Structure 1
């Protein structure tokens, strides 16, 4: 088997998951938004949201072809892997290893030094912002991470765990940013942050309570009472 190209010669591939799937290579090679084989794109998404960007091939087969006999699933996987690799590398020569989607034993994975994933970077920025408590950093992290993860796969089981992790991190950012803004006396900004968050999660009791406290801190008890009733209605 030919040896893979040196890492330094391989164009960086960026996978976008927040706000919808996209793939961009830094050498300008065009990767289509719609792939000829939808399971090939789903395979790449599966790996991109997985811990360490890797999965056992049996897990992948069960997610993509549930209930299909092993022999048929293996055949489907080979075809899908081939399609995914050539979608990302249309110039890939026959029997040449992919630079981005690799296999080792029973594991399938994205090559860490050649593939970057936007949600990984957004989550890291969020953790740094939470540690610093800086309002600008918190706001920037929330703007980046606040976009929905793979909205086209909103109900896919394989994305559920990662989606919940992103949502939990966003909740932390919202609360920390609102608290920071209140501490800095930027009450109107805090209200704006909380209202936007409630538009996305209208039944989040903790956000309602924080907005009630904000209205009270601003000396606007009527607004606080309205918010309390809005919370009751949303929960009902």
Structure 2
């Protein structure tokens, strides 16, 4: 088996393997477990695991002998796809992936670690850009993905916060009150009072849905600033924040309000 070229493995956004200048198609794997074996080893520290760890992760319901047989088969198939005899090596009770393989997750974690240690916002933005999606989204319910997934998510939240990417942060952490506050402030500075009110409405809904709590004092003060030019603060309805603020202003002046249209 000749060397087919450098191996690049993507775990973020989707599982992809590129050998040389050729991406392995989804149907290019002889078996699903061969692809999972490569992904599992790419996640592991040092690109290697104990044989028992691999069998337990990929074939937890099989007897040890049967699991070991499946491992040998999957390793053989993985070597065929990677085009290298050292693509996946079983030796000394360990299973090792090609050590020279490039993995996108490694780059993200390296950049994120540097950014967090330095506190540099530009470095944090670069790290955030290196995280191109969820870790192995097609395997999100596999037990062996859970720990690494939480590590990636935690680091991603850190660099988004450090970089001040508030809109993306609230997508990842809908109940992050500080991020919502920053977005409300940005809308107010831009003169977008309606947008600020809607942002507050999203914050209130997220906090109630995720945590069962109401916005804190600082958030409520921001809302008061949002509606200061529209009249008194709206009632505790969810949604339609701008309309409620307008209704409050109208009622303050006339004491009555007519609402027309379908319910």
TM-score (norm 1): 0.76
Provide the residue aligned with 2:31 in structure 1. 37
3-state secondary structure, aligned to 2:73: helix
CA RMSD for the aligned pairs? 2.6
Provide the residue aligned with 2:94 in structure 1. 107
Matched, 1:173 2:159: yes
1:69/1:227 CA distance change after superposition, 3 Å: closer
1:152/1:210 CA distance change after superposition, 3 Å: same
Q: 1:211 aligns with which of 160, 176, 180?
A: 180
Q: Which has the higher contact order (CA 8 A, sep 6+)?
A: 1
1:30/1:230 CA distance change after superposition, 3 Å: closer
CA distance in 1, matches of 2:25, 2:10: 13
**Paired residues of 1:212 and 1:227 also in contact (CA < 8 A):** no
What pairs with 1:1-236 in structure 2 (closer than 5 Å)? Answer: 11-26=5-20, 28-29=21-22, 31-34=24-27, 35-89=29-83, 98-112=85-99, 114-178=100-164, 193-202=165-174, 205=175, 207-212=176-181, 215-216=184-185, 222=197, 225-226=200-201, 228-235=203-210, 236=212
CA distance in 2, matches of 1:166, 1:109: 22
Superposed displacement of residue 39, structure 1: 0.6
TM-score (norm 2): 0.69
1:11/1:225 CA distance change after superposition, 3 Å: closer
State which drifts further: 9-18 or 53-62.
Answer: 9-18
User: How many pairs align?
Assistant: 204
Which consecutive unaligned segments of at least 5 residues does structure 1 have?
Answer: 93-97, 179-192
1:81/1:228 CA distance change after superposition, 3 Å: closer
Which consecutive unaligned segments of at least 5 residues does structure 2 have?
Answer: 213-263
**Paired residues of 2:160 and 2:168 also in contact (CA < 8 A):** no
Output one character per residue of 1:7-46: Cα deviation in whole Å (capped at 9) or x when no partner.
xx773211111111111123x3553323120011111111
